[in-house]
Structure 1
Amino acid sequence: MEIVRVFWSVLIIGLLPISIASAKDDCEESTVSAQVPQCAEIMRKAADVKLNTSYRKLMARFESQQRVNPEQGKVFMGMARDSQRAWIKLRDTNCPLEATDIEPGVAASIAVINTCIARMSLERAAYLDGIVPDESGVSCPSTDFNLFLNSFAESSAVQRTFIQRPLQFLVTVDAEPEPRMEKRTLEDKQIKYPLMPDRAHREADGLTLSVKEQSGAKATAILNKPDTDYLVEYRFVLGKCWMLSEVSDFAI
Protein backbone atom coordinates (compact mmCIF):
# COMPACT_ATOMS: atom_id res chain seq x y z
CA MET A 1 0.00 0.00 0.00
CA GLU A 2 2.87 2.39 0.74
CA ILE A 3 4.10 1.90 -2.83
CA VAL A 4 0.75 3.18 -4.11
CA ARG A 5 1.03 6.26 -1.89
CA VAL A 6 4.54 7.07 -3.15
CA PHE A 7 3.53 6.47 -6.77
CA TRP A 8 0.65 8.92 -6.59
CA SER A 9 2.58 11.52 -4.62
CA VAL A 10 5.21 11.63 -7.37
CA LEU A 11 2.63 11.73 -10.15
CA ILE A 12 0.51 14.44 -8.56
CA ILE A 13 3.52 16.70 -7.97
CA GLY A 14 4.04 16.64 -11.73
CA LEU A 15 0.38 17.40 -12.35
CA LEU A 16 -0.05 20.16 -9.79
CA PRO A 17 -0.44 22.99 -12.32
CA ILE A 18 -3.61 21.49 -13.75
CA SER A 19 -5.01 19.28 -10.99
CA ILE A 20 -8.43 19.83 -9.49
CA ALA A 21 -7.85 20.66 -5.82
CA SER A 22 -10.26 18.19 -4.29
CA ALA A 23 -9.24 15.37 -6.64
CA LYS A 24 -5.56 16.05 -5.95
CA ASP A 25 -6.08 15.87 -2.21
CA ASP A 26 -8.06 12.63 -2.44
CA CYS A 27 -5.50 10.93 -4.68
CA GLU A 28 -2.52 12.23 -2.74
CA GLU A 29 -3.80 10.65 0.44
CA SER A 30 -4.95 7.45 -1.22
CA THR A 31 -3.56 4.16 0.08
CA VAL A 32 -6.21 2.01 -1.58
CA SER A 33 -5.06 0.38 -4.81
CA ALA A 34 -8.65 0.28 -6.08
CA GLN A 35 -8.62 4.10 -6.22
CA VAL A 36 -5.62 4.26 -8.55
CA PRO A 37 -7.64 3.83 -11.80
CA GLN A 38 -10.10 6.52 -10.71
CA CYS A 39 -7.29 8.95 -9.87
CA ALA A 40 -5.55 8.23 -13.19
CA GLU A 41 -8.76 9.08 -15.04
CA ILE A 42 -9.19 12.32 -13.07
CA MET A 43 -5.65 13.39 -13.89
CA ARG A 44 -6.04 12.50 -17.56
CA LYS A 45 -9.17 14.64 -17.82
CA ALA A 46 -7.49 17.54 -16.04
CA ALA A 47 -4.48 17.29 -18.38
CA ASP A 48 -6.83 17.24 -21.37
CA VAL A 49 -8.37 20.51 -20.17
CA LYS A 50 -4.93 22.10 -19.88
CA LEU A 51 -3.88 20.82 -23.31
CA ASN A 52 -7.03 22.10 -25.00
CA THR A 53 -6.64 25.48 -23.31
CA SER A 54 -3.03 25.81 -24.47
CA TYR A 55 -3.98 24.84 -28.01
CA ARG A 56 -6.84 27.35 -28.18
CA LYS A 57 -4.57 30.11 -26.84
CA LEU A 58 -1.95 29.31 -29.48
CA MET A 59 -4.52 29.51 -32.27
CA ALA A 60 -5.84 32.80 -30.87
CA ARG A 61 -2.29 34.22 -30.75
CA PHE A 62 -1.66 33.27 -34.36
CA GLU A 63 -4.96 34.87 -35.37
CA SER A 64 -4.28 38.04 -33.39
CA GLN A 65 -0.66 38.55 -34.40
CA GLN A 66 -1.26 37.89 -38.08
CA ARG A 67 -4.18 40.31 -38.59
CA VAL A 68 -1.96 42.42 -40.82
CA ASN A 69 -1.18 39.35 -42.94
CA PRO A 70 -4.30 37.14 -42.96
CA GLU A 71 -2.96 34.65 -45.51
CA GLN A 72 0.13 34.00 -43.41
CA GLY A 73 -2.07 33.64 -40.34
CA LYS A 74 -4.14 30.98 -42.10
CA VAL A 75 -0.97 29.08 -43.02
CA PHE A 76 0.32 29.10 -39.42
CA MET A 77 -3.06 28.06 -38.02
CA GLY A 78 -3.20 25.21 -40.54
CA MET A 79 0.29 24.10 -39.50
CA ALA A 80 -0.78 24.12 -35.84
CA ARG A 81 -3.90 22.03 -36.59
CA ASP A 82 -1.95 19.44 -38.61
CA SER A 83 0.74 19.24 -35.95
CA GLN A 84 -1.78 18.78 -33.14
CA ARG A 85 -3.67 16.04 -34.98
CA ALA A 86 -0.44 14.17 -35.71
CA TRP A 87 0.70 14.53 -32.10
CA ILE A 88 -2.61 13.23 -30.69
CA LYS A 89 -2.32 10.19 -32.93
CA LEU A 90 1.24 9.63 -31.68
CA ARG A 91 0.17 9.96 -28.03
CA ASP A 92 -2.78 7.63 -28.38
CA THR A 93 -0.74 4.94 -30.12
CA ASN A 94 2.30 5.36 -27.89
CA CYS A 95 0.70 5.13 -24.44
CA PRO A 96 -0.72 1.60 -24.83
CA LEU A 97 2.88 0.41 -25.24
CA GLU A 98 3.49 1.27 -21.58
CA ALA A 99 0.84 -1.27 -20.54
CA THR A 100 1.92 -4.23 -22.67
CA ASP A 101 3.07 -6.17 -19.59
CA ILE A 102 -0.44 -6.00 -18.12
CA GLU A 103 -3.55 -7.86 -19.23
CA PRO A 104 -5.39 -5.58 -21.70
CA GLY A 105 -8.61 -4.01 -20.48
CA VAL A 106 -8.10 -4.54 -16.75
CA ALA A 107 -8.13 -1.59 -14.35
CA ALA A 108 -4.35 -1.54 -13.92
CA SER A 109 -3.79 -1.41 -17.68
CA ILE A 110 -6.24 1.46 -18.10
CA ALA A 111 -4.61 3.34 -15.21
CA VAL A 112 -1.14 3.06 -16.78
CA ILE A 113 -2.44 4.30 -20.14
CA ASN A 114 -4.31 7.22 -18.56
CA THR A 115 -1.22 8.18 -16.56
CA CYS A 116 0.86 8.19 -19.74
CA ILE A 117 -1.74 10.31 -21.55
CA ALA A 118 -1.81 12.80 -18.68
CA ARG A 119 1.99 13.08 -18.66
CA MET A 120 2.32 13.51 -22.42
CA SER A 121 -0.57 15.99 -22.54
CA LEU A 122 1.09 18.21 -19.94
CA GLU A 123 4.38 18.09 -21.82
CA ARG A 124 2.60 19.02 -25.04
CA ALA A 125 0.72 21.87 -23.34
CA ALA A 126 4.00 23.33 -22.08
CA TYR A 127 5.43 23.04 -25.59
CA LEU A 128 2.45 24.87 -27.14
CA ASP A 129 2.66 27.59 -24.48
CA GLY A 130 6.22 28.32 -25.61
CA ILE A 131 5.25 28.97 -29.24
CA VAL A 132 4.58 32.66 -29.87
CA PRO A 133 4.59 33.59 -26.17
CA ASP A 134 1.36 35.11 -24.91
CA GLU A 135 1.77 38.77 -24.03
CA SER A 136 -1.96 39.37 -23.68
CA GLY A 137 -1.39 41.23 -20.44
CA VAL A 138 0.03 44.16 -22.45
CA SER A 139 -2.67 46.35 -23.98
CA CYS A 140 -2.34 48.55 -27.07
CA PRO A 141 -0.72 51.83 -25.94
CA SER A 142 -2.57 53.91 -28.55
CA THR A 143 -3.71 53.91 -32.17
CA ASP A 144 -2.18 57.40 -32.44
CA PHE A 145 1.17 56.51 -33.96
CA ASN A 146 3.23 59.13 -32.12
CA LEU A 147 1.91 58.01 -28.75
CA PHE A 148 2.30 54.36 -29.70
CA LEU A 149 5.92 54.90 -30.82
CA ASN A 150 6.84 56.51 -27.51
CA SER A 151 5.50 53.51 -25.58
CA PHE A 152 7.03 51.03 -28.03
CA ALA A 153 10.50 52.52 -27.63
CA GLU A 154 10.32 52.58 -23.84
CA SER A 155 9.08 49.03 -23.21
CA SER A 156 10.48 45.66 -24.29
CA ALA A 157 7.16 44.10 -23.23
CA VAL A 158 5.31 46.32 -25.70
CA GLN A 159 7.86 45.45 -28.38
CA ARG A 160 7.43 41.72 -27.77
CA THR A 161 3.68 42.06 -28.07
CA PHE A 162 3.26 44.36 -31.04
CA ILE A 163 5.51 42.86 -33.70
CA GLN A 164 4.47 40.79 -36.66
CA ARG A 165 5.86 37.27 -36.64
CA PRO A 166 7.92 36.27 -38.46
CA LEU A 167 9.61 39.67 -38.53
CA GLN A 168 11.16 40.87 -41.78
CA PHE A 169 14.68 42.17 -41.16
CA LEU A 170 16.77 43.87 -43.83
CA VAL A 171 20.47 44.30 -43.14
CA THR A 172 23.24 45.92 -45.17
CA VAL A 173 25.86 43.41 -46.27
CA ASP A 174 29.34 44.37 -47.43
CA ALA A 175 29.62 43.06 -50.98
CA GLU A 176 31.25 43.77 -54.34
CA PRO A 177 30.96 45.96 -56.29
CA GLU A 178 28.91 47.71 -53.62
CA PRO A 179 27.04 46.89 -50.40
CA ARG A 180 23.61 45.28 -50.80
CA MET A 181 20.52 44.77 -48.67
CA GLU A 182 19.84 41.21 -47.55
CA LYS A 183 16.39 40.23 -46.29
CA ARG A 184 16.09 37.83 -43.39
CA THR A 185 12.99 36.32 -41.82
CA LEU A 186 13.27 36.14 -38.04
CA GLU A 187 11.20 33.76 -35.95
CA ASP A 188 10.38 34.73 -32.38
CA LYS A 189 13.37 32.93 -30.85
CA GLN A 190 15.74 34.77 -33.21
CA ILE A 191 14.56 38.25 -32.29
CA LYS A 192 16.72 40.10 -29.79
CA TYR A 193 15.15 42.72 -27.55
CA PRO A 194 15.01 45.61 -27.26
CA LEU A 195 14.52 46.17 -30.98
CA MET A 196 14.45 49.91 -30.37
CA PRO A 197 16.48 51.67 -27.64
CA ASP A 198 14.68 53.68 -24.98
CA ARG A 199 15.18 57.40 -24.44
CA ALA A 200 18.00 57.00 -21.91
CA HIS A 201 20.04 54.81 -24.23
CA ARG A 202 19.33 57.05 -27.24
CA GLU A 203 20.56 60.10 -25.38
CA ALA A 204 23.66 58.25 -24.15
CA ASP A 205 24.51 57.08 -27.68
CA GLY A 206 23.57 60.31 -29.46
CA LEU A 207 20.69 58.69 -31.37
CA THR A 208 17.54 60.40 -32.62
CA LEU A 209 14.15 58.72 -33.06
CA SER A 210 11.59 60.38 -35.30
CA VAL A 211 8.58 59.67 -37.50
CA LYS A 212 9.64 59.64 -41.13
CA GLU A 213 6.17 59.27 -42.61
CA GLN A 214 2.65 58.13 -41.85
CA SER A 215 -0.11 57.43 -44.35
CA GLY A 216 -3.31 55.71 -43.31
CA ALA A 217 -2.50 52.29 -41.86
CA LYS A 218 1.24 52.52 -42.55
CA ALA A 219 3.97 54.43 -40.75
CA THR A 220 7.76 54.52 -40.68
CA ALA A 221 10.02 55.61 -37.84
CA ILE A 222 13.75 56.20 -38.19
CA LEU A 223 16.58 55.89 -35.70
CA ASN A 224 19.71 57.72 -36.77
CA LYS A 225 22.89 59.26 -35.48
CA PRO A 226 23.62 62.71 -36.98
CA ASP A 227 26.76 63.04 -39.10
CA THR A 228 27.21 59.25 -39.31
CA ASP A 229 25.95 56.49 -41.62
CA TYR A 230 23.95 54.94 -38.76
CA LEU A 231 20.32 54.61 -39.88
CA VAL A 232 17.61 52.11 -38.97
CA GLU A 233 14.05 52.19 -40.32
CA TYR A 234 11.09 50.64 -38.52
CA ARG A 235 7.97 50.04 -40.58
CA PHE A 236 4.61 49.63 -38.86
CA VAL A 237 1.12 48.66 -40.02
CA LEU A 238 -2.15 49.35 -38.26
CA GLY A 239 -4.71 46.68 -37.40
CA LYS A 240 -6.44 46.83 -34.04
CA CYS A 241 -3.12 48.30 -32.93
CA TRP A 242 0.13 49.24 -34.59
CA MET A 243 2.42 46.29 -35.34
CA LEU A 244 6.10 46.38 -36.33
CA SER A 245 6.36 44.51 -39.64
CA GLU A 246 9.86 45.24 -40.91
CA VAL A 247 13.22 46.56 -39.71
CA SER A 248 15.83 47.87 -42.16
CA ASP A 249 19.37 48.44 -40.89
CA PHE A 250 21.25 50.56 -43.44
CA ALA A 251 24.51 50.79 -41.51
CA ILE A 252 27.40 48.61 -42.67
Structure 2
Amino acid sequence: MKTMFLALALFATGAHAASNPAANPCDGVEEDQQTLECSVYSRDTAEKLLTENVQNVLERVQTQFGANKAQAEEFATKLKAAQEAWKKLRDADCAVEVFPAKPGTKEFNIDQNDCLTRASDERSEYLDTVAQSE
Protein backbone atom coordinates (compact mmCIF):
# COMPACT_ATOMS: atom_id res chain seq x y z
CA MET A 1 0.00 0.00 0.00
CA LYS A 2 2.82 2.42 0.89
CA THR A 3 4.48 1.58 -2.43
CA MET A 4 1.32 2.49 -4.30
CA PHE A 5 1.08 5.86 -2.51
CA LEU A 6 4.76 6.52 -3.19
CA ALA A 7 4.27 5.70 -6.87
CA LEU A 8 1.24 8.00 -7.06
CA ALA A 9 3.14 10.79 -5.31
CA LEU A 10 6.08 10.45 -7.71
CA PHE A 11 3.72 10.40 -10.69
CA ALA A 12 1.93 13.51 -9.45
CA THR A 13 5.26 15.31 -8.91
CA GLY A 14 6.37 14.42 -12.43
CA ALA A 15 3.07 15.58 -13.89
CA HIS A 16 3.38 18.86 -11.99
CA ALA A 17 6.91 19.41 -13.30
CA ALA A 18 5.76 18.72 -16.86
CA SER A 19 2.94 21.24 -16.53
CA ASN A 20 5.18 23.82 -14.84
CA PRO A 21 7.08 25.79 -17.51
CA ALA A 22 9.49 27.12 -14.87
CA ALA A 23 10.67 23.56 -14.19
CA ASN A 24 13.38 22.25 -16.46
CA PRO A 25 15.49 19.10 -16.70
CA CYS A 26 18.51 20.99 -15.35
CA ASP A 27 16.95 21.21 -11.89
CA GLY A 28 18.48 18.62 -9.57
CA VAL A 29 20.73 16.80 -12.05
CA GLU A 30 22.17 13.74 -10.37
CA GLU A 31 22.90 11.14 -13.06
CA ASP A 32 24.24 10.89 -16.63
CA GLN A 33 20.82 10.63 -18.26
CA GLN A 34 19.69 13.79 -16.50
CA THR A 35 22.91 15.51 -17.59
CA LEU A 36 22.15 14.55 -21.20
CA GLU A 37 18.55 15.78 -20.91
CA CYS A 38 19.79 19.04 -19.38
CA SER A 39 22.31 19.53 -22.20
CA VAL A 40 19.59 18.99 -24.82
CA TYR A 41 17.29 21.43 -23.03
CA SER A 42 20.06 24.04 -22.74
CA ARG A 43 21.01 23.66 -26.40
CA ASP A 44 17.41 23.97 -27.57
CA THR A 45 16.81 26.99 -25.32
CA ALA A 46 19.99 28.73 -26.56
CA GLU A 47 19.12 28.04 -30.20
CA LYS A 48 15.59 29.36 -29.71
CA LEU A 49 16.97 32.54 -28.15
CA LEU A 50 19.43 32.86 -31.03
CA THR A 51 16.60 32.63 -33.56
CA GLU A 52 14.67 35.27 -31.64
CA ASN A 53 17.71 37.56 -31.56
CA VAL A 54 18.22 37.26 -35.32
CA GLN A 55 14.57 38.22 -35.77
CA ASN A 56 15.01 41.14 -33.34
CA VAL A 57 17.95 42.46 -35.39
CA LEU A 58 15.87 42.24 -38.57
CA GLU A 59 13.04 44.13 -36.88
CA ARG A 60 15.43 46.84 -35.67
CA VAL A 61 16.80 47.20 -39.19
CA GLN A 62 13.31 47.50 -40.64
CA THR A 63 12.64 50.31 -38.18
CA GLN A 64 15.95 52.07 -38.82
CA PHE A 65 15.83 51.79 -42.61
CA GLY A 66 12.05 51.94 -42.87
CA ALA A 67 12.02 54.44 -45.74
CA ASN A 68 14.88 52.72 -47.56
CA LYS A 69 13.58 49.20 -48.28
CA ALA A 70 16.52 48.34 -50.56
CA GLN A 71 19.02 49.06 -47.80
CA ALA A 72 16.98 47.07 -45.26
CA GLU A 73 16.82 44.10 -47.65
CA GLU A 74 20.55 44.31 -48.33
CA PHE A 75 21.26 44.28 -44.59
CA ALA A 76 18.92 41.31 -44.11
CA THR A 77 20.68 39.40 -46.88
CA LYS A 78 24.08 40.11 -45.34
CA LEU A 79 22.89 39.11 -41.87
CA LYS A 80 21.45 35.83 -43.15
CA ALA A 81 24.70 35.04 -44.99
CA ALA A 82 26.72 35.90 -41.88
CA GLN A 83 24.47 33.70 -39.78
CA GLU A 84 24.91 30.73 -42.12
CA ALA A 85 28.70 31.21 -42.15
CA TRP A 86 28.72 31.49 -38.36
CA LYS A 87 26.74 28.23 -38.02
CA LYS A 88 29.31 26.41 -40.16
CA LEU A 89 32.15 27.81 -38.04
CA ARG A 90 30.30 26.96 -34.81
CA ASP A 91 29.72 23.39 -35.94
CA ALA A 92 33.35 22.99 -37.06
CA ASP A 93 34.66 24.45 -33.80
CA CYS A 94 32.42 22.17 -31.76
CA ALA A 95 33.61 19.15 -33.76
CA VAL A 96 37.18 20.05 -32.78
CA GLU A 97 36.20 20.70 -29.17
CA VAL A 98 34.54 17.31 -28.62
CA PHE A 99 37.26 15.32 -30.39
CA PRO A 100 38.12 12.45 -29.75
CA ALA A 101 34.81 11.51 -28.12
CA LYS A 102 33.00 8.91 -30.19
CA PRO A 103 29.86 10.22 -31.99
CA GLY A 104 26.68 8.73 -30.58
CA THR A 105 28.04 8.25 -27.06
CA LYS A 106 26.51 10.05 -24.12
CA GLU A 107 29.80 11.87 -23.50
CA PHE A 108 29.94 13.09 -27.11
CA ASN A 109 26.30 14.23 -27.11
CA ILE A 110 26.65 16.10 -23.82
CA ASP A 111 29.89 17.79 -24.87
CA GLN A 112 28.47 18.65 -28.31
CA ASN A 113 25.30 20.12 -26.78
CA ASP A 114 27.32 22.12 -24.25
CA CYS A 115 29.52 23.55 -27.01
CA LEU A 116 26.52 24.46 -29.18
CA THR A 117 24.84 26.09 -26.18
CA ARG A 118 27.87 28.18 -25.28
CA ALA A 119 28.50 29.29 -28.87
CA SER A 120 24.82 30.12 -29.44
CA ASP A 121 24.69 32.14 -26.22
CA GLU A 122 27.80 34.09 -27.28
CA ARG A 123 26.29 34.76 -30.72
CA SER A 124 23.03 35.90 -29.13
CA GLU A 125 24.94 38.40 -26.99
CA TYR A 126 26.69 39.72 -30.10
CA LEU A 127 23.41 40.05 -32.00
CA ASP A 128 21.99 42.09 -29.15
CA THR A 129 24.56 44.76 -30.06
CA VAL A 130 23.89 44.80 -33.82
CA ALA A 131 21.86 47.64 -35.32
CA GLN A 132 21.26 49.32 -31.99
CA SER A 133 20.23 52.93 -32.44
CA GLU A 134 22.30 55.38 -30.49
**TM-score for both structures, normalised by structure 1:** 0.43
Partner SS, residue 87 of structure 2: helix
**In the alignment, what sits opposite 2:112?**
113
The CA distance in 2 between the partners of 1:67 and 1:125, in whole Å, is 24
**In the alignment, what sits opposite 2:63?**
64
Partner SS, residue 105 of structure 1: coil
The CA distance in 2 between the partners of 1:78 and 1:27, in whole Å, is 37
* 1:27–1:39 Cα contact (<8 Å) kept: yes
**In the alignment, what sits opposite 1:89?**
88
**In the alignment, what sits opposite 1:32?**
31
Higher helix share: 2
The CA distance in 1 between the partners of 2:61 and 2:47, in whole Å, is 21
Runs (5+) with no aligned partner, structure 1: 1-19, 134-159, 161-187, 189-252
Percent of aligned positions that are identical: 28
Q: Deviations over 1:206-250 (max 9, x none)?
A: xxxxxxxxxxxxxxxxxxxxxxxxxxxxxxxxxxxxxxxxxxxxx
Deviation, 1:31, is 1.6
Deviation, 1:83, is 0.5
Deviation, 1:28, is 3.9
Partner SS, residue 112 of structure 1: helix
**In the alignment, what sits opposite 2:22?**
21
**In the alignment, what sits opposite 1:129?**
128
Letter in 1 for 2:100: D
The CA distance in 2 between the partners of 1:27 and 1:67, in whole Å, is 42
Partner SS, residue 78 of structure 1: helix
Letter in 2 for 1:69: N
Deviation, 1:68, is 1.7
Residue 50 in structure 1 maps to residue 65 in structure 2: no
Tell me the number of residue pairs that the alignment of Structure 1 and Structure 2 aligns.
Answer: 114
RMSD of equivalent CA atoms: 1.5
* 1:61–1:132 Cα contact (<8 Å) kept: yes
Q: Report 1:192-231 matches (<5 A).
A: none
Q: Deviations over 1:160-218 (max 9, x none)?
A: 5xxxxxxxxxxxxxxxxxxxxxxxxxxx6xxxxxxxxxxxxxxxxxxxxxxxxxxxxxx
Partner SS, residue 71 of structure 1: helix
Higher relative contact order (CA 8 A, sep 6+): 2
* 1:41–1:114 Cα contact (<8 Å) kept: yes
The CA distance in 1 between the partners of 2:75 and 2:83, in whole Å, is 12
The CA distance in 2 between the partners of 1:117 and 1:130, in whole Å, is 20
The CA distance in 1 between the partners of 2:58 and 2:130, in whole Å, is 10
Q: Which has the larger radius of gyration?
A: 1
Higher strand share: 1
Partner SS, residue 31 of structure 1: coil
The CA distance in 1 between the partners of 2:72 and 2:101, in whole Å, is 45
**TM-score for both structures, normalised by structure 2:** 0.78
